[in-house]
Each structure stands twice: as structure tokens, then as C-alpha cells.
Amino acid sequence: MQLKQPLFFDTYKENKDADIQALIQGLLCPQATLSPKYFYDEMGSVLFDAITLLPEYYPTRTELEIFTQQANEIHAHFPKSATWVELGAGSCQKAAQLFTHSKPSTYVAVDISVDYLSQHLKDLQAKNSDVNVVGVGMDFSHSLTFPDKLQQQLTLDPLLALYLGSSLGNFNPIEALYFLQRVANLCKMGQPGSGLIIGIDLVKDSSTLERAYADDLGVTAAFNLNVLRRVNSLLGSDFDVRDWQHSARFNVQESRVEMHLQAKKNLSVQWQGQQRHFKQDETIHTENSYKWSVKKFTTLLLQAGFTNTRHWTDQKSHYALFWAN
């Protein structure tokens, strides 16, 4: 018998030129910046999955704990015979865990790490022949428009959007609002019962937050440094990872953990006839991870166009899962 194969749409590769221009612009800013979306080549995706196993990295464990301990209440908000659209699905491990409780008729996994997603989807499809598994390689930071054929299909069933792992934290509050507006519009395309389930990391003490982004084994440091190799492969630049070190700090005023790469010495980096000098200790800002309060995030969901919200937290109130429609 032939195994069912997932359907796969790859819309990401078409936008490479625009990405390169944005990368160069970020590197030439007075505070050099790289978008966190560049972390996720194959190595970056593997390293992220390793981070989720670290004792210091509480978000993944805590999100799973909430899903497990309050399973009946949470899954009561999952529409039946639905299409699930998981944004930033990565290895799809979370969907595989959720399938033990509720199953969609169609599961659409969206991610910028196209090859990594595609490999893991084959596995998920092989283990779940009763679900139509669809992959979309896409950068959703600016738009959430799916290929025509898929976009039409999304109107036929109730649609459950899933955005887990507190990935929304990479967007600043304005970007997060625009992103959630696009998700609210996506949910409105589906049949009645459509909604969103989203995982959000909450504000807490600085030391718990900073340890989660600077673990003792140095896995997060490797994840951060790997972005320089990614930039080398996209731009043809000559970053040497040995010249840089990882740093993570909680910026209380902005309510965000910032990750930076700090130059260990004065150096310059060249690419395509251009160059940038970095002084010793100067940094490249590689990630923000915004932390929210339940109250502020509920307000954001309502501003984005959702009308009903619910949330569940763990005992320490470190993390929250929200439902909205």
C-alpha cells in the first residue's frame, strides 16, 4: 500500500531578494539588527528543538503542562471536523501531542523553515492517515495569504488557528497587533466555531527570564551564533562565529528579553562589495521576546478584532494559553 503524502506549498523561496535587502539594511543600522526569522535554517530549527528540552527553558514545558492539566476545558474550545492552521509549526511535535486528544480533519502547518517542516510533516502524515496534512513554506511576518486553492479550502470548515511557543513575543506590540488582526481575519474566513489558541509568556522575575535565554550548556548561545553562518550563506559575508559572544538580558522598561551577539574585538565584516566595522563590545541585536501580562494581552486580542477571550495559566502564572474568537 502506498503511504499518503502531505500536500506541500512553498511560497517562501520567491521572496529571497527582498530578504537580502532587509538583511543588509539591518546590518548597516547604527544598532545592527537581524530579524529572528533568520535563526531558522535546518541547524537553527534543530537547535531550537534542543532548547525546548533544557531545564532553564520553562515555556515549552509549562505550555504542555497547561494543555495537559486543563485538557478537557481547553479542548472543548476546539471546533469539531475543523481545519487547524498552525503558524510556526516547526517540528509539529505539539500538533502530534494535541492529536492524542482532538484531531482535525485537515492540519495545515506553516513555517519559514521549509525543509525542516516538510521532513517532519511526512512523519506526522504517516502516523495520522485519517488527517489531511498540508504544509506551507511561508514568511508570515508581513502577510497571511495562502495559495488560492488552499485559501478557498479554508472557508469550508471551522478553522482553528494555533500559534504556540510564545512566538508572538518576537513581534513588538504594534507588529503583534497587526499580526493578530491578520489572524482574526483568517479566523473569520472559516465556518462558525472558528477561533485562535495562542501561547503567551508572562512577565516574571528577571533571573528566571534571563536564565531561559542563557542556559548553562550554551545551546541558546549556539542557536544565536548560528544566525551568523546563516547570514554568510545568504549574503556571502565573512562573519567568523569565533569573534562573537552571546548575551541575553531582560529589558524591564520594554518588557522584553533581548538577545544580542557581542563583538569580542574590533573587527570588520565584508559582503558583496560592502562592509561594516564593529568596535569591541558592540552588538548585533538578534531577537526580542516580549513578555505580556494577562490583562494587556487580553486587551490586545480585543483590539485586534476578536470579541471573546478565555485564558488558562500554570500554578506559578509563568505562562498563559489564550483562546479567542
Ligand X SMILES: C[S@@+](CC[C@H](N)C(=O)[O-])C[C@H]1O[C@@H](n2cnc3c(N)ncnc32)[C@H](O)[C@@H]1O
In this structure, the number of other CB atoms found within 10 A of the CB of residue 248 comes to 21
Q: How far apart, in whole angstroms, are the C-alpha atoms of residue 246 and residue 262?
A: 6
C-alpha cell at position 156: 469550508
d(CA 260, CA 304): 30
Q: Residue 155 has which C-alpha cell?
A: 472557508
CB of 91 to ligand X, least distance (A): 7
Distance, C-alpha 314 to centroid of its chain: 21
Site for ligand X in 71-90 (CB under 6 A): 88-90
Cell numbers of 3, please?
A: 503511504
Q: How far is the CB of 272 from ligand X (least distance, A)?
A: 23
Q: Is 26 in the site for ligand X (CB under 6 A)?
A: no
Binding to ligand X by CB under 6 A, coded x per residue (else -) over 133-152, reads -----xxxx-----------
Q: Which residue is nearest to ligand X (CB)?
A: 165
> What's the min distance (Å) between Cβ of 310 and ligand X?
20
- Based on the shown chain and the rule CB under 6 A, indicate whether residue 94 belongs to the binding site for ligand X: yes
Stretch that binds ligand X, among 13-21, 40-48, 215-223, 292-300 (CB under 6 A): 40-48
Residue 110: phi and psi, rounded to 5, are -120, 135
The region of 69-77, 107-115, 253-261, 263-271 touching ligand X under the rule CB under 6 A is 107-115
Is 201 among the residues that bind ligand X (CB under 6 A)?
no
Q: How many CB atoms lie within 10 A of CB 29?
A: 11
Nine-digit cell at 72?
478537557
Residue 22 C-beta: closest distance to ligand X, Å: 12
Nearer to ligand X, 75 or 265 (CB): 75
- Residue ranges in 167-186 that form contacts with ligand X under rule CB under 6 A: 167
Q: Counting beta carbons within 10 angstroms of the beta carbon of residue 223, is it exposed (0 to 12), middle (13 to 18) or buried (19 or more)?
A: buried
Closer by beta carbon to ligand X, 120 or else 269: 120
User: Interface with ligand X includes 111 (CB under 6 A)?
Assistant: yes
Q: How far is the CB of 267 from ligand X (least distance, A)?
A: 28
- Give the interface size with ligand X as a residue count (CB under 6 A): 20
Task: Count CB atoms within 10 A of the CB of residue 178.
Answer: 13
Taking the complex as a whole, how short is the minimal distance between the CB of residue 79 and ligand X, in angstroms?
A: 20
* Secondary structure of residue 141 in the 3-state scheme: coil
CB of 248 to ligand X, least distance (A): 15
Question: In terms of Cα–Cα distance, which of 307, 311, 313, 305 is closest to 323?
Answer: 311
Of the candidates 56, 57, 58, 52, the residue with the CA atom closest to the CA atom of residue 313: 58
Closest distance of CB 1 from ligand X, Å: 32
Question: Is residue 165 within the footprint of ligand X (CB under 6 A)?
Answer: yes
Q: Is 62 in the site for ligand X (CB under 6 A)?
A: no
Residue 12 or 250 having the CB closest to ligand X:
12
Span from 101-109, 110-118, 178-186, 211-219 in contact with ligand X (CB under 6 A): 110-118
230 belongs to the binding site for ligand X (CB under 6 A): no
Nearest to 154 by CA among 193, 118, 106, 110: 106
Stretch that binds ligand X, among 73-81, 109-117, 247-255, 315-323 (CB under 6 A): 109-117
| Single-letter code of the amino acid located at 200 | I
For 221-266, the DSSP string reads HHHHHHHHHHHHHHH-----GGGEEEEEEEETTTTEEEEEEEESSS
Chain-centre distance of CA 50, in angstroms?
A: 15
Q: Which of 37, 77, 230, 256 binds ligand X (CB under 6 A)?
A: 37
Q: Which residues bind ligand X (CB under 6 A)?
A: 37, 40, 45, 48, 52, 60, 88-90, 94, 111-113, 138-141, 164-165, 167
